[in-house]
Each structure stands twice: as structure tokens, then as C-alpha cells.
């Protein structure tokens, strides 16, 4: 048997010599030499008497046999095929069935033609995009889950009665009593501890001019602490028949009818309209008060602070201190050599005890001296 390249059916040729060929195949003596096949007689093989399976013989056109369809050439061709079979000594007597071809459905062939093959690089990019979208989706899902958990916690904190305020503690207060600070804070008992603003509470408490700073702390589950830092009155101004208390930073703390036994500042430049609780003196007065603070600190160190009643700051080149209990007025000049000037003042006060007059320590070119009143 010889199989053709175009997958046609195999042909089987049987003749009277098949037995002889098979016997030679069973008992081969020597490898036969290739010999040119002898021409066969028409008696051995007649194409007209043979039946060829799978071949359809068409009738000649116009009843004439063309040169291409001559039976002799076909016979020769068949003879050559038979001779090749003899030389190869191979016979295939099996009847092979053709492979079954799956029928193509209607429209499937057209779809197969329209489908384009995607390049590897483009497919890789598409896969990366899908993976990136999946990662983003997971991140968003985690964020949403976290957000839901936070909302649940906040709802519990704001609704649960466990966190209702039961106590308010005030610390750091000396001048202002605790009840006044609680009232200023506007925090209510049995209010949820997370519902008020610490910043707003601090601003409410600082409405009192004596309060310098405020710190609000939540003590879970139901206690609030308010820690305050108060300002201290160091000077006072004469304001008609009343007194205005001010601290070292020129903050106006209170207007009172009582004399607080503090040094009285005279000669300030702040207008009467600006003298209101919670305001500050103008910068010019504030800078002069800083110099006064230096003089008074040195006076405390030398134990003469308590006898200073009035301080005139109208001239910043010549500060005047009045000491009514000693019957004297001291002119101390500017803010240079403050400690030396206070020491000189103390010596003159001791030396001129019991005399009324004026002490001049304001001229660096002259020796300090005392001039008694006549």
C-alpha cells in the first residue's frame, strides 16, 4: 500500500501473484536487487477488467479518447505502482476509516475569521490592569470596612450613658473660685463627655480677665478637669475715684473701688476709653512698665519695695518714685545701672532718715545727692 500526500484513500491491488509474494516475504533468502520492471502483458493486467475503488472514470468528450486519458498510460502507471509494492514487500490489508470532520455551524466560520489574535505584550498589559483594579478594589473595601467600624465606635461613645459627665474638677485657681470657673465653662452635668469642644470651653473660661491659660482634660468615663493659670495684679492705675488693677504685661484685670496696696502708676498714655477689663494698655505704656518691673525687682531685693507708693512713667528718661511714708521723692533717670541706683537710694534713705526732700540719682555726670525741702 502507498499513501498519497493529498490524503486520498489507499488503493489495494490484488493479483494472481499475491501468494508468491507473501511466501517470499516469509522466507527471504537474499535482499533482492532492484531490477527494472519488465513490461507486463495485457493478459496479466487489464485496466478494463479491474475495479478501482474511489476512482471515477469520466467518459471521453465527443466520444474520443485524449492522449492524457489513454488506458495504456494508466496501465503503465498502475504497473509501476504494483512493482513498487513488490520491491517494498509491504502490504496493508486494514481498511482505514477517514477522520470524522466536525460540521461547522452556521456563522461560526465567519466568527472565527473575525476573531483577532491578541499579542502577548498587549495581553500582559491587560492582565496587569486587571490586577491593579483588583488591588484598588481591595483597598477601597478595607477603607469602607474601617470607616464602618469607626462610625460604630463613635455612635457608642456619643450615645452610651456610661460617658455622661458626673464631676468637674478645677485646678490652679487662687483668685477666682471654682464655681465661677465651672459656670464660665458652660459644661453641664449628665452631658456626654465627648459632645463639648475643649477649645470652646477654654475660650469661655478666659472671658475672665484673671485667667491667662486654660487646659481641659477628659477623664474617661465621666470626669472633666479644668486646669487654669491665673494672672497676678502687680500695679494699679488711678481711675477717678476707683482703681484699675493691671498685671506685668499691661493686661487690665479689674476695676475696683478698693486700694490693693500696689504701686500706683501715673503718667500713662492710654486713653480713658481704653481702660476696660480685658483690654491692654498701649505699647508705649507696656514698654515703660517693663522698665518699672526691673526697678521694683531690685527694690524687693534691697527691702525697700513696700515703701514705694507711686511711680511716674511720663518721662522714660527720668522715672520718678514717690515714697510718702518717708517724705521723699526719688528721680532715678533711665533704665541704665538700675541695681546701682537702687542701692544708692537705700543708702540715702538710711542717711537722711526723718527728713523730707528729693533724691536725685538721674544724672550720671554728677554724684547722687539729697535736697531737703525747706
Asked whether residue 170 is domain-assigned, the answer is yes
- Residues 89, 150 within the same domain: no
Residues 275 and 239 in one domain: yes
Q: Which span out of 13-17, 21-25, 106-110, 194-198 was modeled with the highest average pLDDT?
A: 194-198
Confidence of residue 53 (pLDDT cuts 50, 70, 90): low
Are 201 and 277 found together in one domain? no
The residues, ordered by sequence, that sit 6+ positions from 226 with a Cβ below 8 Å of its Cβ are 168, 169, 170, 171, 181, 182, 185, 201, 205, 214, 215, 216
Q: In 79-199, at which residue ranges do the beta strands (DSSP E only) sit?
A: 167-171
Is 225 a domain residue?
Answer: yes
Query: Do 254 and 296 belong together in one domain?
Result: yes
Cβ pair 323, 263 in contact under 8 A: no
Name the domain boundary from 215, 230, 245.
Answer: 230
- 242 and 208 share one domain: no
Is the pLDDT at 160 greater than 80? The verdict is: yes
Residue 115 falls inside a structural domain: no
Residues 288 and 174 occupy one common structural domain: no
What integer is the mean pLDDT of 186-215?
Answer: 94
pLDDT band at 366 (very low <50, low <70, confident <90, very high): confident
Query: Is 246 within the bounds of a domain?
Result: yes
Number of folded domains that form the chain: 4
224 and 273 co-located in one domain: no
Range of the domain at 244: 235-372
**Cell (9 digits) for 64:** 474520443
241 and 327 both lie in a single domain: yes
Q: What is the largest CA-CA distance in the chain?
A: 183
Q: Do residues 288 and 340 both lie within one domain?
A: yes
Whether residue 226 lies inside any domain: the answer is yes
Summarize pLDDT for 136-159 with one digit per residue, the tens: 999 999 999 999 999 988 888 888
* Predicted pLDDT at 103: 57
41-57: burial string, b at 16+ Cβ within 10 Å, e else: eeeebeeeeeeeeeeee
In a domain, 208, yes or no: yes
Read off the CATH number of the domain in which 198 is found. 3.10.20.310
Q: Considering 205, 230, 255, which residue would you say is the last residue of a domain? A: 230
257 lies in the same domain as 217: no
Residues 10 and 22 in one domain: yes
With respect to residue 104, please indicate whether it lies within any of the assigned structural domains.
Answer: no
Indicate whether 204 belongs to any domain. yes
- Domain co-membership, 216 together with 177: yes
**Residue range 246-282, pLDDT digits in tens:** 999 999 999 999 999 999 999 999 999 999 999 999 9
Q: Tell me the CA distances in angstroms from 305 to 92, 252, 253, 369, one per residue in order.
A: 138, 22, 22, 21
Confidence band for 49, pLDDT divided at 50, 70 and 90: low
CATH of the domain at 318: 3.40.50
DSSP structural state of residue 325: G
Q: Which of 89-103, 124-138, 225-239, 298-312 has the lowest mean pLDDT?
A: 89-103
Decide: 318 and 362 in contact? Cβ < 8 Å.
Answer: yes
Residue 10: pLDDT band with limits 50, 70, 90: very low
pLDDT of 2 over the 80 cut:
no
Amino acid at each position: 500500500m502507498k499513501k498519497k500526500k493529498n490524503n486520498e484513500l489507499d488503493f489495494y491491488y490484488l493479483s494472481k501473484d499475491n501468494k508468491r509474494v507473501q511466501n517470499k516475504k516469509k522466507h527471504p533468502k537474499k535482499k533482492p536487487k532492484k531490477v527494472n520492471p519488465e513490461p507486463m502483458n495485457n493478459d496479466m493486467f487489464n485496466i478494463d477488467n479491474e475495479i478501482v475503488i474511489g476512482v471515477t472514470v469520466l467518459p471521453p468528450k465527443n466520444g474520443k479518447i485524449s492522449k492524457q486519458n489513454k488506458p495504456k498510460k494508466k496501465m503503465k502507471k498502475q504497473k509501476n505502482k504494483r512493482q513498487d509494492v513488490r520491491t517494498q514487500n509491504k502490504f496493508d490489508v486494514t481498511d482505514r476509516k477517514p477522520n470524522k470532520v466536525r460540521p461547522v455551524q452556521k456563522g461560526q466560520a465567519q466568527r472565527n475569521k473575525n476573531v483577532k489574535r491578541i499579542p502577548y505584550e498587549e495581553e500582559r498589559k491587560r492582565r496587569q490592569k486587571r490586577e491593579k483594579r483588583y488591588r484598588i478594589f481591595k483597598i477601597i473595601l478595607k477603607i469602607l470596612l474601617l470607616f464602618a467600624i469607626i462610625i460604630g465606635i463613635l455612635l457608642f461613645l456619643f450615645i452610651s450613658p456610661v460617658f455622661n459627665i458626673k464631676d468637674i474638677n478645677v485646678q490652679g485657681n487662687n483668685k477666682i473660685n471654682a464655681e465661677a470657673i465651672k459656670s464660665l465653662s458652660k459644661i453641664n452635668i449628665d452631658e456626654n463627655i465627648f459632645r463639648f469642644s475643649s477649645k470652646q470651653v477654654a475660650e469661655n473660661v478666659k472671658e475672665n480677665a484673671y485667667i491667662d491659660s486654660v487646659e481641659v482634660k477628659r477623664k474617661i468615663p465621666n470626669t472633666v478637669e479644668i486646669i487654669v493659670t491665673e494672672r497676678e495684679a502687680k500695679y494699679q492705675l488711678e481711675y477717678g475715684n476707683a482703681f484699675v488693677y493691671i498685671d506685668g504685661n499691661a493686661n487690665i484685670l479689674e476695676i475696683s473701688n478698693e486700694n490693693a496696696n500696689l504701686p500706683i502708676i501715673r503718667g500713662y498714655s492710654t486713653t480713658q476709653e481704653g481702660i476696660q477689663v480685658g483690654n491692654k494698655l498701649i505699647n508705649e505704656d507696656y514698654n515703660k512698665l517693663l522698665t518699672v518691673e526691673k526697678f521694683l525687682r531690685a527694690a524687693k531685693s534691697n527691702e525697700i519695695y513696700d515703701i514705694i507708693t507711686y511711680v511716674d512713667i511720663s518721662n522714660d528718661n527720668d522715672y520718678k518714685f514717690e515714697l510718702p511714708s518717708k517724705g521723699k521723692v526719688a528721680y532715678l533717670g533711665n533704665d541704665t545701672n538700675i541695681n546701682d541706683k537702687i542701692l544708692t537710694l537705700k543708702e540715702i534713705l538710711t542717711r537722711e532718715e526723718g527728713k523730707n526732700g528729693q533724691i536725685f540719682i538721674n544724672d550720671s555726670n554728677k554724684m547722687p545727692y539729697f535736697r531737703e525741702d525747706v
